[in-house]
């Protein structure tokens, strides 16, 4: 099996590594990133083949997986590759207005496009526990299902109903971003009231805060290790896409706008490249002022 993987950010790297380890010698994996250092590091750790340029993807590669920052990056990559006869599996969290455009562009050039955003971050990806949301032609989906199954504990197929997978991902991330913001503020407020962080997390994990999000971010919050699994920049971008797509400009303010403003402010605090759980640092600093 010949597969190309384009994009080696935190999540992309984890997914690509999981796929390569899962299939081993049964898969020839070609990797590309705008950052050559990331490619060199990945190749040194696996038997993947580096691609110097997007035009270097071999013609016998049937599956091209894309995991990039935003829809502009996806459009740029699609424009530069030969998609004829290939299935493009787009793991990027995209603006729902853009994925029908990508679908048509790829189809007109002889390929197939699947929007396939994932729920979960670096650790679930490495362990094959992501949830994958897929929309596109069923024939293409069935061909790529074995690859997606290597990274997923659950796959939801929306049929040929693009952009429903992207819509669902943005709705999910509204909950994700909101829950993380509430947890972060609750910890900062609790500490201001004289409660220890350990006590706060322990009690919340047995009460109203009990959740997969708190379980996943407990270590980061306790140790203030906010190395990025899912960055502030990414959640801010996703919420921006949702607001642009779902709300008319003249509508009254919804909670989504308030949640977006938390991460927009976190960007102003210099937290963009840290894990989105680092919004705790912002609340902590504000409450100490």
The 10s digit of each residue's pLDDT in 92-146 is 999 999 999 999 999 999 999 999 999 999 999 999 999 999 999 999 999 999 9
Is 185 within 8 Å of 258 (Cβ atoms)? Answer: no
* CATH number, domain with residue 277: 1.10.1040.10
How large is the angle between the packed helices 232-246 and 164-192, nearest 10 degrees? 120
Indicate if 172 and 156 belong to the same structural domain: no
Domain stop point among 116, 132, 160: 160
Q: Which tokens is 269 given?
A: 């605090």
Indicate if 142 and 212 belong to the same structural domain: no
Model-wide pTM > 0.85: yes
Three-state DSSP at 91 gives coil
Indicate if 189 and 250 belong to the same structural domain: yes
Give kind and range of the element (H or E) at residue 5: strand 2-6
Burial 133-142 (b: 16+ CB within 10 A, else e): bbbbbeebbe
Looking at the DSSP assignment, which residues form a beta bridge with residue 66?
6, 90
Residue 275's pLDDT is what?
A: 97
Per-residue pLDDT of the chain (289 residues; tens, 9 = 90+): 999 999 999 999 999 999 999 999 999 999 999 999 999 999 999 989 999 999 999 999 999 999 999 999 999 999 999 999 999 999 999 999 999 999 999 999 999 999 999 999 999 999 999 999 999 999 999 999 999 999 999 999 999 999 999 999 999 999 999 999 999 999 999 999 999 999 999 999 999 999 999 999 999 999 999 999 999 999 999 999 999 999 876 666 789 999 999 999 999 999 999 999 999 999 999 998 7
* CATH number, domain with residue 154: 3.40.50.720
Indicate if 15 and 134 belong to the same structural domain: yes
Give the count of alpha carbons within 13 A of 38, CB side only. 17
Number of domains in the chain: 2
Domain stop point among 120, 137, 160: 160
Residue 250's pLDDT is what?
A: 63
Cα–Cα distance for residue pair 240/109, rounded to 1 Å: 30
Indicate if 255 and 196 belong to the same structural domain: yes
Indicate if 250 and 114 belong to the same structural domain: no
Cα–Cα distance for residue pair 45/51, rounded to 1 Å: 16
The neighbour count for residue 54, using CB atoms within 10 Å, is 18
Burial class (CB in 10 A: 0-12, 13-18, 19+), 189: middle
Indicate if 128 and 225 belong to the same structural domain: no
Give kind and range of the element (H or E) at residue 179: helix 164-192
Indicate if 187 and 98 belong to the same structural domain: no
* Domain span including residue 36: 2-160
Domain stop point among 144, 160, 176: 160
List, for residues 58-69, the tens digit of each pLDDT value.
999 999 999 999
Indicate if 150 and 13 belong to the same structural domain: yes
Indicate if 19 and 63 belong to the same structural domain: yes
């Amino acid at each position: 099996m010949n597969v190309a993987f384009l994009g080696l950010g935190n999540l992309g790297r984890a997914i690509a590594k999981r796929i390569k380890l899962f299939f081993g010698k049964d898969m020839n994996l070609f990797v590309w990133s705008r950052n050559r250092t990331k490619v060199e590091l990945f190749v040194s750790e696996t038997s993947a083949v580096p691609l110097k340029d997007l035009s270097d993807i071999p013609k016998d590669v049937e599956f091209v997986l894309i995991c990039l920052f935003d829809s502009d990056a996806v459009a740029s990559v699609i424009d530069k590759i030969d998609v004829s006869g290939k299935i493009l599996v787009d793991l990027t969290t995209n603006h729902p207005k853009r994925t029908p455009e990508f679908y048509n562009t790829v189809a007109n050039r002889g390929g197939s496009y699947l929007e396939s955003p994932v729920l979960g971050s670096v650790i679930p990806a490495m362990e094959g526990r992501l949830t994958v949301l897929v929309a596109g032609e069923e024939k293409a989906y069935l061909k790529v299902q074995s690859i997606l199954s290597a990274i997923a504990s659950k796959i939801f197929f929306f049929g040929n109903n693009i952009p429903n997978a992207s819509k669902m991902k943005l709705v999910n991330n509204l909950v994700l971003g909101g829950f993380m913001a509430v947890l972060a503020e609750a910890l900062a407020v609790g500490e201001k009231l004289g409660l220890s962080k350990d006590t706060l997390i322990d009690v919340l994990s047995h009460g109203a805060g009990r959740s997969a999000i708190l379980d996943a971010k407990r270590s980061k919050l306790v140790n203030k290790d906010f190395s990025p699994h899912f960055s502030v920049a990414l959640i801010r971008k996703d919420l921006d896409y949702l607001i642009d797509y779902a709300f008319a400009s003249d509508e009254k303010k919804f909670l989504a706008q308030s949640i977006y403003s938390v991460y927009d402010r976190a960007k102003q605090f210099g937290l963009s490249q840290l894990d989105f759980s680092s919004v705790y640092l912002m609340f902590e600093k504000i409450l100490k002022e």
